[in-house]
Structure 1
Amino acid sequence: MQFICLKISIILIGLFFIFSSKSQAQGFGGVTISFSPSTIERGQSTRLTWSSTTFFAQCNIGGIGIDPISNIQSRGSVTLSPTSNVEAFIICNNDFNTFASASLTVTEPTNSVSVTSSFSPSTVNVGQSSTFRWSSTGATNCSSTGALSISGVSGTRTITPSSDDNVSVTVTCSGNGNSGTSTSTLTVVPALPTIRFFPLQTGPGVIAVSFITTNATSCTSEGSDVGTSGTLTAFGFAGAVIPFSLTCTGPGGSTTDTIFIFVSGGGTFDININSSSQINSATSLQATTEVNVMDIVESSNYQSLLMDINNDGVKDLMGVDLLTQRLYILVNSSNGQQALSKVVEGISDINQLNSVSVSIDGDIVVTTTTQH
């Protein structure tokens, strides 16, 4: 009896070692999977092989970096060229739902060449500049095709496109029998609008500035459409600084520019004139003539005076053109409108004015040392 028990124990121990060694080689439930070779350089190939002890098992392979291999036979192989490490596994559906896994290590090629390149900024308007940069590792020389010519294994180049065609540069570097390439593209859009101002008059009264643009389809000033060329006007007195601002838009984007005009005078300013107004609150001053730039500004030799003629809280302008000996009275309303309200001939000096007032019927009354 002891001999029988001993014999049974020996048989069980033997079966244990047989089963143990078999499962280590095959994986759980009698399936194996392996890479040959198990270490490759990037760009090389390896063979993935699998086998199941159940001949009619249906197997699925995953973790190989591409679409899973499904419903394959219990034995087979496939050639792969992964670019990074792989942890593959196989599951076979039979009585045991068998499973196994295998690892593949992917290393960088010996003496490999890598190349990088870029434009900064990557988008420019025509006439603007961008810097092209390239660098490499493992290379002994580099060349390029496209819009730029380069030399050396790294460096920079500056490009200023003259048309709105996109620019591409391909860099090829080589060394130790290996090579690498990199292509970069610069996006070029139409040129931004440009604005040029030309001051027409800088004497007191109505200040005029003309403008012309390029690459613009529309322009606005203070929210109003003014076209792509023309004249801007503003009311200004001697010594003031008047800003003219334009925003122009075109295929390449928008540009905003501002010019500041100093209103020159010549003569005496801010003379204290006795002003009285008899206009009642129910009557408003009516301008009789629209402002005409050329009528008002005939010379840069001016004397000017600011005073609130009609007591509306807004200063009005009186300017004497010393060459034509004319007095111009411009009424400036609170809503920003200007109008030429009166012209007095024969005024050679602003000191001739004794008083300026508004009558009950809205007429501007001017008294001088010589009555007109």
Structure 2
Amino acid sequence: MTTELSSASVAEAAERRAKLFSNCRHADVVVAMTPENVFYLTGYWSMGTDTDRLRKLAAVATREAVLLVAPAADLGPALEIFTATADVFPFGVFHFEVELLPEGDRVRKPAPDFHVALLQALDELAFPRARVLLDTGIDDTISSRLAALRPQYRLENGAVAFNRSRSTKLGPEIDRLDHAASVAELSIREGLAIVRAGVSEWEIAGAITSGIVRRGGVPGFIVVTSGPRSALADAYPSHRRLQPGDILRLDIGCRVDGYWADTARTAVLGEPSRSARELYQMTSAGATTLLEQIAVGMTAGRAYTIALEAVRASGLPTYRRHHCGHGIGLEPHEFPTLSPESTTRLESGMVLCVETPFYQLNGQGMMVEDTVVLGDNGTRLLTSLDRQLCMLDI
């Protein structure tokens, strides 16, 4: 990570913390324990959490300061974000040579385990009767342990506060989402460029993945399914080789600088059949109509209805779907979800993925998914790939 990116990460994290506290004025301290919320408060992402979701990590923050609680192995990478090792409370065993650390920094002795390190960080920033918001809620094991060991703090469920704060994006966050969408789309173009009869799904996935990595992204879900497999939602690629007339469904997600892209497109190898062409027009009509009508102040449930009814009116009266879109940010699926029961009002600054896919098992599947930013003066698409059914040379 470059010095410029580190500085940007620190500044953006400070802006996000200020936003969170402005929405939770009664809170004195917030504690984050999910990787996404730790990043939200600190600007630091631990690679270890990508391979081990049970890996313990936390951020403890006030309006003025933030501390990182992390495995001792994170101390080195964390110094790319934090200006002093005194801001990091390590735990466990990992050996870095102290001489390599910046002069004058107070190197903390690693605590024996996560819980001890978390208590140390909390005690440094909190005070008796402080209101402490926990993003894991107040019923989990960690919260119960904190309540027993530190009864002087008033622990409260902060999960909703984090979700609400993250649901609307600040300018730098939208810029990062825009960049992530561009990385995904450029990589999708590279994948489509190698498609010919005889090319396997894995080969196409490899081209897309390579493009994501070369552009600084971390591949997330790389759904490349063809022919009868095109109807398999969220499925890994296979060694199936494409044949003339096959439908090719791509649903690509990646993370760039902490923020996600989620983009889907459908192609056909050669000339599509009349039924495939008509089916694509009918299903994509839902997403297209919603992108035209979605606006600030609309409920998420109303957005769902607009998309669903558009598909049905286009010629699929029995079309069903559990949701027609979702928020995106530090996670590929964030609050709110565009579902039939949601009464959540859409707000300026929300970034949403809009989709109306179709999955017919033992038949065919197709989808188009785009990302849109809501604003008081209208909407802006972050995705720009052609939304028509893509016809590829055999």
TM-score interval, normalised by the smaller of the two chains: under 0.3
Q: What TM-score do the two structures reach when normalised by structure 2?
A: 0.16
Q: What TM-score do the two structures reach when normalised by structure 1?
A: 0.17
Q: Which has the higher contact order (CA 8 A, sep 6+)?
A: 2
Structure richer in strand, relative to its length: 1
Structure richer in helix, relative to its length: 2
Q: Work out which of the two has the higher radius of gyration on C-alpha atoms and give 1 or 2.
A: 1
